[in-house]
Amino acid sequence: MNVYYTYGRVKGDSKKDEQTIYVRLFYGRNKIQVKASTQLTIRKHGWNFKKGEDADVVDLAKKQIPPQDLENFKNIKQRLSDIRVHLKNEFRKLMLSREHNSFSQIQWNDWARAQLGSALFQGQKQTESTTKFLRKRENIRRIEPSSSINLDAKTPEGPIDAKWTNHKNKMKLVAPNNRPKIDVIVVGTGLAGASAAASLGEMGYNVKCFCFQDSPRRAHSIAAQGGINAAKNYQNDGDSIYRLFYDTIKGGDYRSREGNVYRLAEVSVSIIDQCVAQGVPFARDYGGLLDNRSFGGVQVRRTFYAAGQTGQQLLLGAYSALSRQIGLGRVNMYNRHEMMDVVKIDGKARGIITRNLVTGDIDRHSAHAVVICTGGYGNVYFLSTNAMGSNASAAWKIHKKGALFANPCFVQIHPTCIPVHGTNQSKLTLMSESLRNSGRIWVPKNKEDAEAIRDGKLKPTEIPEEERDYYLERRYPAFGNLVPRDVASRAAKERCDVGHGIEANDTNEGVYLDFATEIKTKGKQVAFAQGDKTPTEEKTIELGKKWVEEKYGNLFQMYQQITDENPYETPMKIYPAVHYSMGGVWVDYNLQSTIPGCFVAGEANFSDHGANRLGASALMQGLADGYFVVPFTLANYLADDIRTGSISTDSKEFVDAENEVKSQINRLMNIKGTNSVDYFHKKLGVIMWNKVGMSRNKEGLQSAIGEIQVLREAFWKDVYIPGDADEMNAELEKALRVADLMELGQLMAVDALNRNESCGGHFREEYQDEEGETLRDDVNFKYVAAWEYVDADARNSVLHKEQLKYESIKIADRNYK
Amino acid sequence: MAAKNIDIILKVWRQKNTNAKGKIETYELSEVSTDSSFLEMLDQLNEKLIGEKETPITFDHDCREGICGSCSLYIDGRAHGPQTGNTTCQLHMRSFNNGDTIYIEPWRSKAFPIIKDLMVDRSAFDRIQQSGGFVSVNTSGNTLDANAIPITKDDADKSFEAATCIGCGACVASCKNSSAMLFVGAKVSQYSLLPQGQVEAKNRVQNMVRQMDKEGFGNCTNTGACEVECPKGISLENIARMNRDFLLSNISSDK
Ligand SMILES: Cc1cc2nc3c(=O)[nH]c(=O)nc-3n(C[C@H](O)[C@H](O)[C@H](O)COP(=O)(O)OP(=O)(O)OC[C@H]3O[C@@H](n4cnc5c(N)ncnc54)[C@H](O)[C@@H]3O)c2cc1C
Ligand code: SF4
Ligand code: FES
């Protein structure tokens, strides 16, 4: 027996200050469906009730309904009138309180939804049977979109190359003398957070900045290896702002917003100037000028780097700027503090609740605006290249409070990581994409050779040239080993799926990244440059190895430490791994989420990379957002707050939020089950990797959605967290994060299921051409899927679409052949 | 090399909080894969402890790739363990043998109070950086073009090498005087090797050294233990450079 309900705003209702919600209850079995509904309209100055159509929907007498069903239908009708009474009372109370006068569209919706929830589940006069079936979560099936959320990207008018300048000229400012009256919270100290906090502090705002590590310098941006893009065209190979913009849109498989991406390309140029001025020691050539390398998906050299530690150097640059502001007292830094929730007052973000990770104290912090820069959610897969602490909680908490979450299924699987080796493995290690400048990717042509290698009977160096399949060079001659990441990853999977994998792990998943050719070519060049035109083979190889060491020394060393193999002598083994999340909190052109006053920057937002991110563009985006975008768009928002005065943390909203956080923690601590947090996290990871990973299909996604649901319920019944909540408790920290990842993981599957096309990192097996390339559907899916939170079950989330418009770029197939 | 499993005995420093008294506890752990990293071995121990409803061991870690500088274990009397040139998280169990007894302690220094078990408070490093470890350029992006001032490759490379310090504190932990000279020297050198860092060079070195002394780090007596244990191979040259800068700034500073 199934009972469904749906609700939403009635279509065609366009008046801004009017909300109509309807409730329909369905009951069905054996192809018999009965339904009953009620409809309510709320206006700011009164309300209106329609009784609904329950009486005449179905002529029961005409259908042969078994008596027991008839009984249930009566119950439904009874239930509906209970709901109606409950809602009516609540409306009346609200109208009398006049609170609703300040309600925004979103708040109306929140309110209606909350009331409906309590009416459905806690209505007083329930009969035994109705309570039973209505309480069951699984029985709730569909909720129609409440179209009241208006997704306005707020992209400025005008030609693409003038949008940002025009916008900057028009935006409101906050005068220097007013800035000290305004408090801003920045959560996160990666490239986005550190640069935003430093800039805002320098402009004169009161900034509070938070990170969960023991120092802002340890944010995960530190681990980025390869480099940062900028359209400087120092190499004179035809680069330009337009080309960087074009490459990024194309690389993202036409699923990102033109205006934002153009701005990113535009400000990229200033980033390099800024960093050099801060003393970031980028790699230079012998003439003393900045050196560049090339990354996947492009045909120019625009990537600036500092050996294989570009992220470290850039972050330390931003950290130095932040440290300067902390020293000057303009930024208050809270290390080892985790944001637990956002606090909304009158619909606006006005603060956060944090947990001091050392003492367990729960604290309230107020501000006029909140900037979330908390990084990506790759750890939903358990094994990823992200740091152990990387998490989605801050983003997820604001999502639960009204910020839409966009394109959650767009995740980047990076082609060159060290393959999985064992069950106790805690994370995967990236081998920078820059290696694909010099390395050639291959597997044995013959499956027998692959098998012999796995069995340890054959060495890769023993396989002759003609027995090797350099499959990227074969399939994509124009870009070769430098195709974009999603393409390279899938190609590796394809080879391993048909039995050519060379790694002796459970799944035989691994391919070679070989430097032998490069060592020879470069060795020869160096010898020639030194005047030796006939170098011996040994000499060439020796010089070549030196050359490689200078370029990639630390990566080779890292590889050797982990695998105990020497990549100068034998090819590296690599395999794709989860790396980056293109999806994230939906933001408009100003990087503001659908919660007013809550801005989101860096990897945590969805904005610039569409369905696939190009290498070296995340660092660019983080610094662009933090240094050059948020400081301006935030001022535009804060200009209305100069008279607000400081915000008290004693309000009901703060008290409620704090209590909510405390009760969630208590709930977790009191489960006292039998399994550790990692036990559940690993299980989640396996479901995600197998069914919502590199390639996806309808059946897999459907089953993932169900499996995650079951796992989440098990987690909340059976997790065991040792220790207490009022002390340093790493297990509790993990549990709080995993609880959110469970919900996010399910939403990713829901989103992937909804997107009936293949694009970028999202590969649906049903949508591919004969050669296994992605088949995008621009007619039906050229939109950003922005999901609205309803409850922990992501199947109930409501989809909103932001249609993408391409005015400056002709949308085309993505071809790297 | 094929992985194998080993059994080990761990002697681990346990301390409930900063003020509590700590002591070494003994744990036996079997079936540790030699392919596991040292921290994965500790994960395995923690999972076992959780299974036995014991309190797991607290330690700092995040990136597990040797770059964030979080991990900080004193293993068998050496900062970051028996190998040179790597961090605790990069250490693998293949460096140990079946039946080994391994001692694990936190960094020990007055300036790094213990928070819990193996986790210490290194915020003193942050405060040193805040006192002068930066170039006072505003964040507008309206600066010189990045290529306006060429920098010789040699200087750029040396500056980069100094800047690769991950702020882990192994230098302090392995110094018998708990001196932070290698860390501070590296930061001072990164800037003093670049034209952008010259303008404030004198004040920088003065301020950073003053803050370092205030934090309670000891003096440098040139024993060189720091250089040996530094996972990033930061060289003693940086200390010499800082000393030179410091002396120069004393002579010429108007303060
Ligand atoms: C191994 C690796 C290599 C990479 N290489 C490159 C590269 O070569 N080029 C490139 O462009 N990109 C690269 N990337 C991607 C890039 O590094 C990241 O996308 C980018 O650094 C993210 O920066 P961020 O500021 O958004 O977040 P992060 O740097 O992840 O920072 C997140 C911050 O938020 C804080 N935080 C998180 N949650 C909370 C909470 N609940 N409460 C309080 N604080 C919180 C953290 O403490 C941290 O300070 C790489 C990524 C990885 C994993
Ligand atoms: S100098 Fe070396 S040992 Fe000291 S903090 Fe830096 S990286 Fe660690
Ligand atoms: S955990 Fe980051 S350096 Fe060891």
CA–centroid distance, B78 to ligand 2, in Å, is 14
Q: Are residues A428 and A403 in the same domain?
A: no
Determine which residue's CA is closest to atom 30 belonging to ligand 1. Answer: A375
Highest mean pLDDT among A17-21, A701-705, A773-777: A701-705
For every residue of A650-702, DSSP letters joined together read -SHHHHHHHHHHHHHHHHHHHH--SB-HHHHHHHHHHHHHHHSSSSB-HHHHH
pLDDT at A101: 58
The pLDDT value recorded for residue A149 is 73
pLDDT (0 to 100) of residue A773: 86
The CATH architecture to which B5-105 belongs is: Roll (3.10)
- Asked whether the predicted pLDDT for residue A67 surpasses 70, the reply is no
- Is A458 part of a structural domain of the chain? yes
Query: Based on the domain organization, do A138 and A235 belong to the same domain?
Result: no
Same structural domain for residues A37 and A101?
yes
What lies within 8 Å, CB to CB, of A231 at 6+ separation is A239, A240, A241, A243, A244, A265, A268, A269, A302
Task: Choose among A677, A703, A681, A679: nearest CA to A692.
Answer: A703
CB spacing of B160 vs A307 below 8 angstroms: yes
Q: Is the CB of B231 under 6 A from ligand 3?
A: no
pLDDT recorded at residue B139: 92
Q: pLDDT at position A31, please?
A: 45
Q: Which helix (H) or strand (E) holds A595?
A: none
pLDDT in tens, A661-695: 999 999 999 999 999 999 999 999 999 999 999 99
Which of A539, A560, A578 is the last residue before a domain boundary?
A578
- Is the per-residue pLDDT at B231 higher than 70? yes
The answer on A288 and A382 residing in a single domain is yes
pLDDT at A121 over 70: no
Q: What pLDDT, on a 0 to 100 scale, did the predictor assign at position A423? A: 80
For residue B75, list its beta bridge partners.
B78, B104
Is A54 a residue whose pLDDT tops 60? no
Q: Of A814, A695, A662, which Cα lies nearest the Cα of A764?
A: A695
Domain limits for position A516: 414-578
Shortest CA gap A285–chain B (Å): 6
- Helix/strand/coil (H/E/C) assignment for every residue in A516-545: HHHHHHHHHHHHHHCCCCCCCHHHHHHHHH
CA distance B129 to chain A (A): 6
Same domain as A350, residue A380: yes
- A283 C-alpha vs ligand 2 centroid, how far in Å? 22
Instruction: Give chain B positions within 8 Å (CB) of A321.
Output: 134, 139
The pLDDT of residue A144: 34
Residues with CB under 6 A from ligand 2: B 165-171, 182-183, 186, 230-232, 234
- Clarify whether residues A569 and A611 are in a common domain: no
Asked whether the predicted pLDDT for residue A145 surpasses 60, the reply is no
CA distance A116 to chain B (A): 41
Q: Say which residues have a Cβ less than 8 Å from residue B165's Cβ, sequence separation at least 6.
A: B182, B183, B186, B187, B230, B232, B234
The answer to whether residues A376 and A520 belong to one domain is no
Nearest CA to ligand 1 atom 8: A226
Single-letter residue type at B103: Y
The answer to the question of residue A746 being in a domain is no
Q: How many domains does chain A have?
A: 3
Q: Look up residue A578 and give its amino acid.
A: V
Mean pLDDT of chain B: 95
Distance CA B91, CA B72 (A): 12
Distances (CA, A) of A374 to A129, A353, A457: 46, 15, 47
Q: Is A772 contained in some domain?
A: no
| Domain layout of chain B by residue ranges | 5-105, 123-252
| B157-189 confidence digits (pLDDT tens) | 999 999 999 999 999 999 999 999 999 999 999
CA distance B192 to B208: 13
The overall pTM is greater than 0.90 = no
Helix (H, G, I), strand (E, B) or coil at B58: coil
First to last CA, chain A: 54
- Using pLDDT thresholds of 50, 70 and 90, give the confidence band for residue A119: low
Same domain, A307 and A421: no
Q: What is the ipTM, given to two decimal places?
A: 0.97
Q: Is B68 in the pocket of ligand 3 (CB under 6 A)?
A: yes
Averaged pLDDT, A146-166: 86
Mean pLDDT of A705-733: 96
Same structural domain for residues A401 and A418? no
Catalytic residues of A: 485
| Same domain? A122 vs A187 | no
Name every chain B residue with its beta carbon within 8 A of the beta carbon of A727.
16-17, 116
Overall residue count recorded for chain A in this entry? 817
A374 lines ligand 1 (CB under 6 A): yes
Give B128's contacts in chain A (Cβ within 8 Å). Answer: none
The answer to whether A721 touches A650, Cβ cutoff 8 Å, is no
The dihedrals phi and psi of A332, each to the nearest 5 degrees, come to -95, 120
Q: Which ligand is nearest to the CA of A429?
A: 1
Nearest ligand (C-alpha, residue A396): 1
Give the tens place of pLDDT for each residue, A477-523. Answer: 998 999 989 999 999 999 999 999 999 888 889 999 999 999 999 99
> Are A429 and B163 within 8 A, CB to CB?
no
Alpha carbons within 13 angstroms on the beta-carbon side of residue B81 total 21
Average pLDDT of span B235-247: 95
For residue A214, which residues of chain B lie inside 8 Å, CB to CB?
A: 60, 70, 121-123
Q: Decide if A707 is inside a domain.
A: no
**pLDDT confidence of A24, banded at 50, 70, 90?**
low
Cβ neighbours of B142 in A, within 8 Å: 270
- End residue of a domain, out of A531, A563, A578: A578
| 3-state secondary structure at position B190 | helix
Lowest mean pLDDT among A50-54, A161-165, B68-72, B96-100: A50-54
Over pLDDT 90: what percentage of chain A? 74
> Which pLDDT belongs to residue A662?
97
Query: Is residue A566 over pLDDT 90?
Result: yes
Residue ending a domain, choose from A148, A168, A189: A148
Evaluate: CB of B40 within 6 angstroms of ligand 3. no
pLDDT value at residue A109: 59
Tokens of B42: 């500790």
CB of A224 shorter than 6 A to ligand 1: yes
The pLDDT of residue A281 is 97
**C-beta atoms of A289 and B150 within 8 A:** yes
Is the distance from CB of A321 to CB of A340 less than 8 angstroms? no
Give the CATH number for residue A380.
3.50.50.60
Probe residue for ligand 1, chosen from A603, A613, A621, A737 as the CB with the greatest number of ligand atoms within 8 Å: A603
Same-domain check for residues A574 and A584: no
**CB-CB under 8 Å, B61 with A730:** no
- pLDDT score at A50: 47
The band of A8, judged by pLDDT with boundaries at 50, 70 and 90, is: very low
Encode pLDDT of A397-451 as tens digits. Answer: 999 999 999 999 999 999 999 999 878 899 999 998 889 989 999 999 999 999 9
Residue of B nearest to A267 (CA): B141
> B123-252: what CATH class?
mainly alpha
- Going by pLDDT thresholds of 50, 70 and 90, the confidence category of residue A17 is very low
Whether residue A485 is contained in a domain is answered as yes
Q: Over 80: is that where the pLDDT of B25 sits?
A: yes
In a domain, A722, yes or no: no
What's the pLDDT score for residue A236?
Answer: 93
In a domain, A637, yes or no: yes
Contact A312 B125 (CB under 8 A): no
Q: What is the pLDDT of residue B252?
A: 73
CA angle A268, A270, A275 (to 5 degrees): 100
The arithmetic mean of pLDDT across residues B116-122, rounded, is 98
The answer to whether the Cα torsion of A642, A647, A653, A659 is positive or negative is positive
What's the token pair of residue A153? 């990207």
Q: Is A169's pLDDT higher than 80?
A: yes
User: Is there a single domain that holds both residue A297 and residue A394?
Assistant: yes
Q: pLDDT averaged over chain A?
A: 87
- Summarize pLDDT for A280-315 with one digit per residue, the tens: 999 999 999 999 988 877 889 999 999 889 999 999
Question: N- to C-terminal Cα distance for chain B?
Answer: 60
Nearest neighbour of B58 by CB, restricted to A232, A281, A730: A730
What is d(CA A801, CA A778) in angstroms, rounded to the nearest whole number? 14
Q: What is the pLDDT of residue A432?
A: 86
Instruction: Count CB pairs under 8 A between chains A and B.
Output: 227
